């Protein structure tokens, strides 16, 4: 084989290895992230926000009750 043919074979081999690395990286990242859709992520965020609001309301109500008891 000529030097040019060896170089071309080396380049093709390097590109194949690079493509395999990219494919493996995609599989790993998708495996970690899962198949969660944007809608599912938004729904989860909405539920968190609602939970936080309920907790804040409960805290405020408890503080009001404590203040009422102190005034008595």
What are the pLDDT digits (tens) for 5-28? 888 889 999 999 999 999 999 888
Q: pTM higher than 0.85 for the full model?
A: no
User: What count of other Cβ atoms lies within 10 Å of the Cβ of residue 67?
Assistant: 9
pLDDT at 21: 93
Which element (helix H / strand E) includes 1?
none
CA angle at 59 for the pair 57 and 65, rounded to the nearest 5° = 105
Question: What is the mean predicted confidence (pLDDT) over 33-54?
Answer: 86
Tell me the C-alpha distance between 46 and 52, whole Å. 10
Tell me the C-alpha distance between 34 and 44, whole Å. 15
């Amino acid at each position: 084989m000529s030097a040019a043919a060896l170089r071309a074979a080396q380049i093709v081999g390097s590109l194949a290895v690079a493509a395999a690395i990219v494919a493996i990286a995609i599989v790993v990242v998708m495996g970690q992230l899962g198949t969660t859709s944007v809608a599912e992520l938004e729904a989860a965020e909405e539920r968190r926000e609602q939970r936080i609001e309920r907790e804040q309301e409960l805290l405020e109500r408890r503080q009001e009750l404590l203040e009422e008891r102190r005034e008595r």
